[in-house]
Amino acid sequence: MGSLERSKKKTQVWKKAVIHFSLCFVMGFFTGFAPAGKASLFSNFETTPSTISKSQIPPHPSENSTYTPNSLADKALVNSQVQAPSPSKSQEAEPENRSLSETEEEVTPKGLVIVVTPVMTKDRYKNVLLRRMANTLRLVPPPLLWIVVEKHSEADVNSSSTMLRKTGLMYRRIVFKENFTSLEAELDHQRNLALRHIEHHKLSGIVHFAGLNNIYDLDFFDEIRDIEVFGTWPMALLSANRKRVIVEGPVCESSQVLGWHLRKINNETETKPPVHISSFAFNSSILWDPERWGRPSSVEGTKQDSIKYVKQVVLEDDTKLKGLPAQDCSKVMLWRLNFPTRTRFST
C-alpha cells in the first residue's frame, strides 16, 4: 500500500507541473500575438499615474539642462508623463509679433549717401588724398556710393582703379578727356559728369560734393541722411600759414536757416552768402523729378549745367534748406584745409 500511495503522489506532482507548464506556454504563446504598442493587463500598474510614487518620478529637467533616463523604468516613467498643454495660437502670435516689431526697428534701412569727389589734374598729392578720403569713407556705415571723377591718364588708370577696388567701398569711377585752362571750369565739368550719371541711372540718395582736402566728423554722414530736399551746415576753413579759423555757413534757429555767416574781404562785408560747394547736400531725385519738389520740369540749360542749376536752387530760397545738425546747426562737422603750395588748389 505504501508504494501505491507514493506513486500516486508522484503522478499528481507531475500532472500539476505539466498543467502549470502548459498554462504558461499557452499564455506566452497568445501574448506574443498581442499588439506591441498597447498596454497589456500586466502593465497597467506601470503607466497609471496613481501607482507611481514620488521617489520613482525622475527630476524635471531645467531649461538649460538635458535629462537622460538611466534605466528602462525611467524611460517608461518619462514616456508616461502627461505633457503640458501647448499654448494657444494667440499666445504664440503675441511674442512673434513683438519680436518682429523689435526686429523691424533695429533693421530700419538707412538712406543712401552719394559722395562725389572730383580729382584735380594738377594735384600731385591726389593719390595720397584719395587714400585718405577712402579711409574716412570706410568708417561710414553703409549704404554709401563713392563717385570719383578724374581725367583719363594711362599712368593713373591702373593705380586709381586698383586702389578703389581695394577699399571695399561701393564706387563708380568716371573719366573724361577734355582739357581745361580754368580750374573752376574743370571742377564744374567733373561735377556735371557725376550729376548726369546719377540722373541717367536714377540713383536715389543724398548727394554731397566732397573735396579731397575735406576732413569729416563721422556724425556728419548720419546727419545728412535725414535731408528731405536740401540741407546745409557750417564749415570751418583752415589754412596752414594762418593762425585763425574762418567759419562759413548758415545761422539757424533749430533747423530753420535764418541767415549766413558773412566774411569781410578787403574791409568790405560780403552781400552774397558764401555757400561753398561742400557745405550743402540735396536729394538726387530733384535731377529727374523736379516737379516733386515744386520745380519746373524743364529749365533751359539744366541738362548741360546741372551744378549751376543746383546752386541756383540752393541760393534762391532759404526756406527749403534744412540746417544741420538739427539742434541749431552750430556744431562744425566739416573742415576744409588749404595748403600753401603752388601746385595745390582748394576745392
Instruction: Compute CA distances 32 → 1, 29, 42, 70, 133, whole Å.
Output: 47, 5, 14, 27, 84
pLDDT tens digits, 58-105: 444 433 333 334 444 444 333 433 344 454 544 554 545 555 445 444
Q: Which amino acid is at 19?
A: I
Residue 125 falls within a domain, yes or no? yes
Residue 295 falls within a domain, yes or no? yes
Residue 241 falls within a domain, yes or no? no
State the virtual CA torsion across 42, 43, 44, 46 in degrees, nearest 10.
140
Residue 217 falls within a domain, yes or no? yes
DSSP letter (8 states) at residue 295: -
Q: Which amino acid is at 225?
A: R
Residue 59 falls within a domain, yes or no? no
| Joined grid coordinates for residue 52 | 507611481
pLDDT tens digits, 201-253: 999 999 999 999 999 999 999 999 999 999 999 999 988 777 788 888 888 88
Residue 10 falls within a domain, yes or no? no
What is the CATH number for 192?
Answer: 3.90.550.10
Residue 289 falls within a domain, yes or no? yes
Structural domain of 215: 113-232+275-320
For residue 250, the tally of other CB atoms under 10 A from its CB is 26
| Joined grid coordinates for residue 30 | 497568445
| Joined grid coordinates for residue 82 | 502627461
Q: Which amino acid is at 117?
A: T
Burial class (CB in 10 A: 0-12, 13-18, 19+), 215: middle
49 φ, ψ to 5°? -60, -30
pLDDT tens digits, 102-136: 544 455 678 999 999 999 888 888 889 999 999 99
Q: How many domains does the chain have?
A: 1
